[in-house]
């Protein structure tokens, strides 16, 4: 099988309190701006400090240290801090951090999944060993789900009986390392009684596709996150497309990145679609397009 070089990922490193550095992908970052005084909004989550005006829109700002369960930043720390304005899941959100450090380049094969001993409420989705220093990759989706619970509530999905039966006839595999994203995906399908397989790991997904093909019950539709430790969504797609001996599923790459670059690269590696998280109706319509494709 031909080798493909993993797409390099740029990560922004930052600090919260006196902990190991955290990181988020730079494709999520719109701008970094110095802290400015914020007026707290009434009835908001304790970690929401207020709003800033960003390119004509009011953007909420979250004290990230407080949001992940740590000590809130002091007024002095806030004054010296920076606001990272991000674009995640179709929302612009500002995160106040104690200090922005630098940008590094890595790929998802360098990212190790967090130890299971840490439990399910740890706001990290992976770890990177950078010259002996452990970098914690932040699970932004989980953080936002705690601050804005309504953002992960199941949306209304309209499918006809025929559309539901069409999807029930498909073997669907969902792949995402984020527990919040997995719940969103499963809620959308469970609400319509559509069966599916699920995993949090790209390599395990590839093994499942191979095994299903060998059992004569191949995967018809693959929905995968892009940013995952180990085998990311791009490499998973590339590996599936490169194996001529297996039934080729309809592949939807599902990502929190609202970026033309991610869409373009998804097409280059062989994905049929790239959708931005999370619109249940849009996702199910994408699956229906896969179910209706011409044989072969």
Query: What does the pLDDT look like over 6-33, one tens digit per residue?
Result: 556 789 999 987 777 899 988 889 999 9
Q: Is 23 helix (H, G, I), strand (E, B) or coil?
A: strand
Report how far residue 10's alpha carbon sits from residue 72's, in angstroms, rounded to the nearest whole number: 27
Q: Are 162 and 188 in contact (CB under 8 A)?
A: no
| Residue 261 pLDDT | 65
- Tell which residue, 142, 222, 135, has the closest CA to residue 179: 142
Domain end position, chosen among 129, 149, 169: 149
Report how far residue 64's alpha carbon sits from residue 71's, in angstroms, rounded to the nearest whole number: 10
- Is the sign of the CA dihedral 119, 148, 150, 275 positive or negative? negative
- State the total domains in the chain: 2
Query: Do the domain assignments include residue 212?
Result: yes
Neighbours of 87 (CB within 10 A): 18
Asked if 19 and 130 sit in the same domain, the reply is: yes
| Residue 238 pLDDT | 94
Q: Are strands 22-25 and 133-138 parallel, antiparallel or unpaired?
A: parallel
Supply 210's token pair.
């191979």
Report how far residue 282's alpha carbon sits from residue 223's, in angstroms, rounded to the nearest whole number: 13
In 148-279, which ranges are continuous DSSP H helix? 161-168, 179-190, 202-214, 233-242, 260-268
Asked if 180 and 272 sit in the same domain, the reply is: yes
Report how far residue 26's alpha carbon sits from residue 10's, in angstroms, rounded to the nearest whole number: 6
| Residue 3 pLDDT | 44
Asked if 158 and 255 sit in the same domain, the reply is: yes
Q: Is 143 helix (H, G, I), strand (E, B) or coil?
A: helix
> DSSP secondary-structure letter at 122?
-
CA 117 distance to own-chain centroid: 22
Report how far residue 65's alpha carbon sits from residue 98's, in angstroms, rounded to the nearest whole number: 8
Query: Do the domain assignments include residue 4?
Result: no
Q: Which residues of the chain have pLDDT under 50?
A: 1-5, 295-296
Domain end position, chosen among 113, 128, 149: 149
Which domain covers residue 269, as residue numbers?
Answer: 154-291
Report how far residue 195's alpha carbon sits from residue 170's, in angstroms, rounded to the nearest whole number: 8
């Amino acid at each position: 099988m031909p080798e493909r070089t993993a797409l390099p990922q740029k990560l922004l490193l930052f600090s919260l309190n006196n902990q190991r550095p955290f990181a988020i992908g730079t494709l999520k970052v719109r701008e970094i701006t110095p802290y400015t005084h914020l007026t707290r909004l009434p009835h908001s989550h304790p970690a929401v400090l207020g709003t800033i005006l960003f390119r004509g829109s009011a953007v909420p700002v979250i004290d990230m240290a407080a949001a992940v369960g740590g000590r809130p930043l002091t007024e002095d720390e806030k004054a010296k801090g920076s606001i990272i304005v991000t674009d995640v899941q179709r929302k612009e959100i500002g995160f106040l951090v104690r200090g922005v450090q630098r940008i590094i380049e890595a790929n998802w094969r360098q990212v190790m999944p967090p130890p299971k001993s840490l439990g399910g409420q740890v706001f990290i989705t992976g770890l990177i060993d950078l010259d002996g220093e452990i970098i914690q990759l932040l699970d932004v989706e989980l953080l936002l789900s705690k601050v804005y619970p309504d953002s992960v509530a199941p949306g209304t999905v309209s499918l006809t009986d025929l559309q539901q039966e069409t999807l029930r006839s498909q073997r669907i595999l969902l792949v995402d390392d984020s527990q919040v994203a997995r719940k969103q995906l499963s809620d959308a399908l469970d609400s319509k009684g559509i069966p599916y397989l699920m995993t949090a790991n790209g390599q395990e997904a590839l093994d499942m596709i191979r095994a299903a093909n060998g059992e004569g019950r191949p995967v018809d539709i693959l929905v995968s996150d892009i940013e995952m430790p180990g085998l990311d969504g791009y490499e998973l797609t590339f590996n599936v497309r490169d194996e001529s001996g297996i039934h080729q599923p309809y592949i939807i790459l599902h990502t929190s990145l609202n970026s033309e670059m991610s869409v373009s690269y998804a097409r280059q590696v062989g994905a049929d679609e790239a959708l931005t998280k999370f619109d249940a109706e849009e996702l199910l319509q994408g699956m229906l397009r896969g179910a209706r494709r011409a044989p072969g």
